[in-house]
Amino acid sequence: MKKVFCRAVSLLTTIAMAFSVLMSLPVSVQAENSFPVHVEAEECTLGNGATIATNVYGTEYPGYSGDGFVWVTNAGTITLEVTVPESAMYELKTKCWMYLGAEGETRLQVVSINGESKGEYFIPNKGKWIDFSFGYFYLEAGKATIQIGSSGSWGFILYDTISFDYADMPDHNIDPTLCDPKATAEAKALMKYLTQVYGKYVISGQQEIYGSGNDGNYELEFDYIYDKTGKYPAIRGFDFMNYNPLYGWEDGTTDRIIEWVKERGGIATACWHINIPSDFTSYTPGEAVDWTKCTYKPVKSFNTANCLDKSSKEHAYLMMAIEDLAEQLLILQENNIPIIFRPFHEAEGYNNTDGSGAWFWWGSGGAEVFKELWKLLYTTLTEEYGLHNLIWEVNLYTYANSFEWYPGDEYVDIVAYDKYEGSPYRWGTSAATSIFLTLVNYTNDTKMVAMSENDTIPDIQNIVNEGAWWLYFCPWYGDFILSPSKNDPKLLNTIYNSEYVITLDELPDDLYEYDASPDFTYGDLDADGLITSLDVSILKRYILRKMLKLGVPEEAADLDGDGQITSLDLTILKRYILRKINKIPINQ
């Protein structure tokens, strides 16, 4: 990370006011000749509704630096002008305190750069000063005006310091090991391929219509893409919605998955809009219900939490639904077809961990119930039905409490986001980088992050510039892809023909052939293709903890195969280089 000495030039004028609050006249911070930037918030230009203070209505907030802090109320703003040294990714951070409401409650703040909104951020009340990141932004070299502000009554934040520096971008070195230890060879092969391209390319995708829509033409969206670009998407989205205990309408989804993977060589992903009877109280498990009397929305007669109670009718219904789903998934497994499986999607809905903002019934029980529901499905499919051809993908959002919906690393392979205009942001063709990086940080860059649904596809150049390497994009069907207002055909052609976007014709012929050999050479710790004294030095420093990570997976340094990296491995590597043994005694 590039670092140079920071110097901020500022002018500050203050006057006293009632309630011990100091009012500041607008001033300007110029950081044109200093980088990185770290300034007191009170040195920035303050708009109406932002004032300098040492307390708020007599309440003290100790621990701030400088002469005070900036109290932002209602539509107050803080503005900072900087000189961006080069076109690159940058991070904006602050030390702040959201002081209203109970701990965990949030207030909305908006960041704009050069007059363009970069996103909305929910700052939580932690009962103290916290370090908060507004995320990473790609900026061209030159002057930039950064504004932090509030939206209506969502404000009321105390700001102590503002920092602006190069972004420390993630490595995207993802372990291809699936969460299911019994994963099929084909699932392992697909996962290995996904982790190899992740961070370097974006895989193209498209959701098909379900239930015999488009007058039964399931190829409408795909033919449209081919007509505009000369390419087909590599990933096809499916929906197991019609496989359920209610109306059981066979729409051929499983057969189309087999055809897409086996005959066309594509990758399959699937969600599961599992329906329940609209009137669950009068429903008798096992009886047929017309599709017009079913829903996947929350209903008062269906208590989602009861799905976890084996004695309840809700649990009995869920088990029947899982059985119908498992029947189809087993057909795929028997045909050696793996699938990226995204059940119980978009569970969080409108940012309420108690489930009150849920869009679908499976989220209406709240975050804790949802996580147990996810684990129940995982356990039932893998242990009871022996399904191991699934790559498990969970939908998450980026509200202050969204991570509370994460089921856990041992049940998840991919984290996904569904991006639609106005839900909750308007992204246009931007890379939605702040969302992407927030999701990456949820698992400390140990899980791939995908755009599992979207309307407007991000401009691939924005993705490349900003390092927002979504694993794949997958527009929803209908106007979400067909309407030029959502996806301009000219840009669609540019995206599909970009060297950074993988299309159906570019998938490898041996995509589902699993090679168990590692993607590294044991002992080659700097990945230069040679085993030399430099590798010895690297291993020695690693063992002494003078460096945090190797340039290759840690397994490359476990030369005796005991699962640990110790001085014995160092001795083995030294002897190997000195040719005192013929080869490294590692179990390969």
Does 255 share its domain with 386?
yes
Task: Note whether residue 4 is domain-resident.
Answer: no
One domain, residues 493 and 569: no
Q: How far apart are CA 209 and CA 479, in angstroms?
A: 11
Residues whose CB falls within 8 Å of the CB of residue 230, separated by 6 or more in sequence, listed in order:
493, 496, 497
Domain identity same for 530 and 499: no
Residue 178 is assigned to a structural domain of this protein: no
Distance CA 327, CA 341 (A): 15
506, 533, 552 — which closes off a domain? Answer: 506
CB within 8 A of 467, min separation 6: which ones? 89, 136, 169, 433
Within this chain, do residues 196 and 325 fall inside the same structural domain, yes or no? Answer: yes
d(CA 427, CA 493): 20
Q: Which amino acid is at 196?
A: Q
Separation between Cα atoms, residue 297 and residue 363, nearest integer Å: 9
Longest Cα pair distance anywhere in the chain, in angstroms? Answer: 83
Cβ partners under 8 Å of residue 357, min gap 6? 348, 349, 350, 351
Q: Note whether 270 and 237 are within 8 A (CB).
A: yes
SS3 readout for 428-490: CCCCCHHHHHHHHHHCCCCCEEEEEEECCCCCHHHHHHHCCCCCEEEECCCHHHHCCCCCCHH
- CATH number of the domain bearing residue 561: 1.10.1330.10
In a domain, 545, yes or no: yes
Which of 445, 476, 506 lies at the terminal end of a domain, its last residue?
A: 506
Cβ contact 195:205 at 8 Å: no
Same domain, 463 and 530: no
Question: Is the domain of 524 the same as that of 502?
Answer: no
Q: Are residues 461 and 392 in the same domain?
A: yes
Residues sharing a CB contact under 8 Å with residue 422, sequence separation 6 or more, in sequence order: none
Q: Is residue 250 part of a domain?
A: yes
In a domain, 8, yes or no: no
Of 466, 405, 391, nearest in space to 433 by CA: 466
- 23, part of any domain: yes
Q: What is the pTM of this model?
A: 0.77
Q: Does a structural domain hold residue 76? A: yes
Q: Say yes or no: 59 and 113 in one domain.
A: yes
Same domain for 544 and 475: no
413: domain CATH number is: 3.20.20.80
**Residue 493 placed within a domain:** yes
List the domain range (segments joined by +) for residue 429. 185-506
Q: How many residues does the chain have?
A: 588
Domain boundary among 506, 537, 555: 506
Q: What is the CATH number of the domain that holds 132?
A: 2.60.120.260
pLDDT in tens, the chain (588 residues): 333 223 222 322 222 333 333 333 334 444 445 789 999 999 999 998 999 999 999 999 999 999 999 999 988 999 999 999 999 999 999 999 999 999 989 998 999 999 988 878 889 999 999 999 998 889 999 999 999 987 666 789 999 999 999 998 999 999 999 999 999 999 999 999 999 999 999 999 999 998 878 888 999 999 999 999 999 999 999 999 999 999 878 899 999 999 999 999 999 999 999 999 999 999 999 899 999 999 999 999 999 999 999 999 999 999 999 999 999 999 999 999 999 999 999 999 987 888 888 999 999 999 999 999 999 999 999 999 999 999 999 999 998 889 999 999 999 999 999 999 987 778 899 999 989 999 999 999 999 999 999 999 999 999 999 999 999 999 999 999 999 999 999 999 999 999 999 999 999 999 999 887 777 788 888 878 888 888 888 887 777 765 556 777 888 888 888 888 888 887 888 778 776 554 455 444
How far is C-alpha 102 from the geometric centre of its chain's CA atoms?
A: 28
Write the Ramachandran bin of 357: left for phi over 0, alpha for psi from -120 to 50, otherwise beta: alpha
Enter the tokens of residue 183.
């994963």
Do residues 147 and 196 both lie within one domain? no
In this predicted model, what pLDDT tens digit does every residue of 449-466 receive, in sequence order? 999 999 999 999 999 999
d(CA 51, CA 68): 10
Q: Do both 217 and 332 map to the same domain?
A: yes
Domain count, the chain: 3
